[in-house]
Structure 1
Amino acid sequence: MKKKDSIFVPIIITLSVVVPIAVALLMIFPDFFHIESNNNKFNSLPFFHAVLNGATAVLLFVGYVLIKNKKTNWHKISMISAFVLSAIFLVSYVVSKLFLNHQNSIYEGEWRMLYLFILITHIILSVPVLPLAMFSIYRGMTGEINRHKKIVKWTFPVWMYVAITGVLVYVFMAPYY
């Protein structure tokens, strides 16, 4: 293990465990963590989350096209930007779970089975996105291109799916916000 790895790999692993546990606790015990607020500023967060997810998907696609065209520096900028938007989403999502009380709402329309499939796969696949994205970026930034290429074969499709389905979940749930 390289010296850099001994610093960054444990950080990535720790975040990859702590963050999903924190989000799961907010989802499983929403009343315990809920903070009462009459502030309407938080009501626009679901739309904001959809915008962040949509922009992340666009940046992921742009980053993919850029690397296929050997535009390495622009690819890095695009992918880091996608990660930053995902991080902003994650923080904002946690804030929304603390201040908004939408957890009891669920889509009841004629597309309910499709919605549930999208929601469940979105939730399940969102868990590995954080470690996959962090390891992908770390391997790319440290110049370990072969290791980077191996992991992005998983990272890109999973991250893209989660970003796109995040928008779809919002579209289904928009009437309930």
Structure 2
Amino acid sequence: MENTVVKEKKFNRVITMISIVIPVVVALLFGIKIPNVAPLSFLPPIYAAINGLTAVLLIIAVWAIKNGKRPLHQKLMMTNIGLSLLFLVMYILYHMTSDSTPYGGDGVISYIYYFILITHIVLSIALIPLVLRTYAKAYLGNFEEHRNLAKYTFPIWLYVAITGVVVYLMISPYYA
């Protein structure tokens, strides 16, 4: 049977590949528009709601593990990973069928919007390997390292989930 170190090295190679491929593919797909398809303009409020639900479930998952409810924590975290994948698919589909919506605000609010948007995007890219490595630690039964890594992953994931909702709320008045 493979030892944990070998398994972790295999996980890390796959995680590294996924962490590079996802942002590159998303960036490439942004340049592709699906012809003769109606814009999927109904998706932004749905994926904003998914971000909001993810934030709530992340907080409940932390509460669950701190109260010794490991099975609940595991189910909530798998749900959050699933929600993140669903968000990603919807986000890509929306941008492949719709033109980007420019932010119409001005002044200090526009600087705040762009700061939130840029930090949201950068941290969402950084979050991919963090979530996957944190998950791999738990999967391999290395709960001490899982806890240590989760101390960084959780606040970043929570920030990305909350700012996803904030970005939507700030830009939603400018959707066509």
- Taking structure 2 as the reference length, what is the TM-score of the superposition? 0.90
- Are 2:10 and 1:7 equivalent residues in the alignment? yes
Report how far residue 24 of structure 1 moved: 2.7
Q: For residues 121 and 13 of structure 1, what CA distance do their matches in structure 2 show?
A: 21
The letter of the residue matching 2:21 is V
Report how far residue 138 of structure 1 moved: 1.5
Instruction: Give aligned pairs, total.
Output: 171
For structure 1, the 5+ residue unaligned runs are: none
The letter of the residue matching 2:67 is N
Q: For residues 47 and 74 of structure 2, what CA distance do their matches in structure 1 show?
A: 23
**1:44 paired residue among 42, 45, 54:** 42
- Does the CA-based 8 Å contact 2:34-2:96 persist in structure 1? yes
* Residue number in structure 2 paired with 1:21: 24
Q: For residues 122 and 53 of structure 2, what CA distance do their matches in structure 1 show?
A: 21
Report how far residue 96 of structure 1 moved: 1.4
Q: For residues 24 and 118 of structure 1, what CA distance do their matches in structure 2 show?
A: 19
Distance change in 2, residues 1:38/1:94 (3 Å): closer
The letter of the residue matching 2:16 is I
Report how far residue 144 of structure 1 moved: 0.5
**1:108 paired residue among 77, 80, 105:** 105
- Does the CA-based 8 Å contact 1:52-1:85 persist in structure 2? yes
Please show how residues 24-173 of structure 1 align to structure 2 within 5 Å: 24-27=27-30, 30=31, 33-40=32-39, 42-103=40-101, 105-109=102-106, 111-173=109-171
The letter of the residue matching 1:85 is L
- Post-superposition Cα deviations, 1:21-61, rounded to whole Å, max 9, x if no partner, equal 1223345xx3xx12234425x11111111011011111101
- Identity, % of aligned positions: 37
The letter of the residue matching 1:7 is K
- Post-superposition Cα deviations, 1:100-132, rounded to whole Å, max 9, x if no partner, equal 1125x1242452111111111101111111111
Q: For residues 78 and 171 of structure 1, what CA distance do their matches in structure 2 show?
A: 25
For structure 2, the 5+ residue unaligned runs are: none
The letter of the residue matching 1:46 is P
- Taking structure 1 as the reference length, what is the TM-score of the superposition? 0.89
- Does the CA-based 8 Å contact 1:80-1:137 persist in structure 2? no
